[in-house]
Structure 1
Amino acid sequence: MPTTTARRVLPQPCGELSSGVIDALGTTVGSPVSISLAGADPYGRDLHLALHTCYGLHYDAFAGVDPAWEWDPGLLGARAELERVFLAALRADTVAGTDVAHELDELLVVPDENAGVGAFLRDDGEPRHVREYFVHRSILHHQEADPYAWLIPRLRGRAKAALVAVEFDEFGGGRGERIHQRLYADLLAGAGLDPGYLRYLDVVPAPMLALVNMMSLFGLHRALRGAGVGHFASVEITSSPASRRMVDVLERLEADVACVAFYREHVEADAVHEQLMRRDVIGDLLDREPELSESIVFGIRATELLENRFAEHVLACWRADRTSLLDSLEFEGREELSMAVASVDREFRAIRHS
């Protein structure tokens, strides 16, 4: 029997923007949503927590929040202002281009094996670093593939069919226990973390919130459908080699089988998805709407921008021997707590996912 899922509580505000949105959601629908964007940091946590909370109404319900807030004109107006500041920054910080084929070829270039978060985890990573990485990424993977579903009604023909094929895999191929969001929840549990939906939102800093908000921004606006496709392609093309490196890291640390299984799934699936996205989704979309080339390039470059900001933040913290989160996790410093679990639990998980 399926269990009842408890609704999540609203996040803790961290400034005037997030307070304005979160406080409003605790009142009657139609109450004023008071925010001022004067001097707001387009990549700051206050803006992105406010925006993430607005977007959250389109995903899963908040406990005690009237669902009618989802389409409240005042809240939508406030969200539009937050989006305007964020989108303007993304456009200003990326170079415009129209050569989609070149951008896709660049994504296929093998990255420097000695740079980035993956290299740190491979060479110097400890269980605490891996757990922190899992916590950051939980904000993304708890909603994995959901924002791309908004692209489906905005595509036609072969592009639509191919994107649905990729999404079908992301959603477990019709098997609830194989949905990638579920696999990530299993990963969190296997690493000794809370698998609850967006459980760690209050400790994740701005860089990951910005990346996830970009996905929702592209998905919710038809005018940004090209950018959404560009972002999705960027993820699928780069995922397989990055996931292969994570498999190596986790096997070195003798991590729980559920942790390894999540990344191994992406090694195999995303290698196929890369061809579908490039040839069938983007190829067909550009045949139909060649004017979207600049938007597709923007989506790819905005993804690279925000992923680099995330990596820079995490690596700066780890190299300074401090947590990359806003608060230390409860097991941090307890190096005797292995990521591995008892062999009987390993066998149980292997059977469950076979």
Structure 2
Amino acid sequence: MLFFPQYLPHAGQGKSLLNKVLSPFNFAANNPSSYADAVDNASPSVVNLYARKQVRQRRHPLFNDPVFRHFFNNSDIPQQERMQATRGSGVIVHEDGYLLTNFHVINGVNEIIVALQDGREALAEIVGINRENDLAVLKIELPNLTPIPIGKPDEIRIGDVVLAIGNPYGMGQTVTQGIVSATRRRGLNISLFENFIQTDAAINPGNSGGALIDTSGRLLGINTANLDQSSGEGYSGGIGFAIPADVAMRTLTDIIEFGRVVRGWLGVQASPLTPQLANAFELPSTRGVLVTAVDRNSPAEKAGILPGDVIVRVNNQLIGSGRWAMQEVAESRPGDKIEIEVIRKGQPVQMTAILGTRPLES
């Protein structure tokens, strides 16, 4: 056996040397083994929603056959209706009883019952909706409510641990754990305006409208869908989506203050670039939108945008097919400045627009 005394630690150094050697294996010591405190902070604010909606039952196709109806005298049988139960989740965000949930959870319902973690129940009133972001604001009249602490979704990083709290399959409040898999996910066709936090924390049917929280119990997002629901392609493999809390809270404050979501407005009509249009305008790609009309006295007209311009960047970001640019404008506030780059007669032109208030009819 070879022996090298010069490599032995001096007295008192053995422990520190051992810690250095084992430091890669000390991950568990530097990370919490339980998220119970986070759940305790957030779970009183997460509610179960039980809603009922009236739906028409599908009739057998024979009832629409004129021969069948003639011989069996079924011409006057009315189409049957029944009450269908739906389940979801919600999050208390204000001590006055305001809740956030998904629009698709309460769409078309006749009655919404909110069940709190402490066993209390209340009927909910729909205060307002935001179809474009799939959000809804509800209100209940109960004392001593616990609003959830609001986190900072713009500061989250991919790999951060998150917890999803909701009412999957109507089983009652359930917590699942995962990480932030991605941010600013778009193009999922879940809603018109998309800016999702992606997570592998399980988000099952009934979790919609529940809370995605950080390890301190602060709200990061409103759980909305998993990949099964958004794509219809089968097993999601742990891919879920949540609307960032700042987007949701802006919906809440706008609806309470103005009765609707207040959106920025540029005042252009545009169409995506086809390969033929890109070739006609001598553009290297189809990234951008062709301005087909500019509203009179609009922010676009005041900024100098003209019909025939091709918008290629908004706030220094390439806009692709234009849907991202439309969302960037709509989710800005009236009075915000945006930087726009257009191609006009083959040359780039930079301009600044000050957004107005999106008209109701828009």
Band the TM-score falls in, shorter-chain normalisation: under 0.3
TM-score, with length taken from structure 1: 0.23
Q: Identify which of structures 1 and 2 has the higher relative contact order when contacts are C-alpha pairs closer than 8 Å and 6+ apart.
A: 1
- Greater share of residues in helix: 1
TM-score, with length taken from structure 2: 0.23
- Greater share of residues in strand: 2
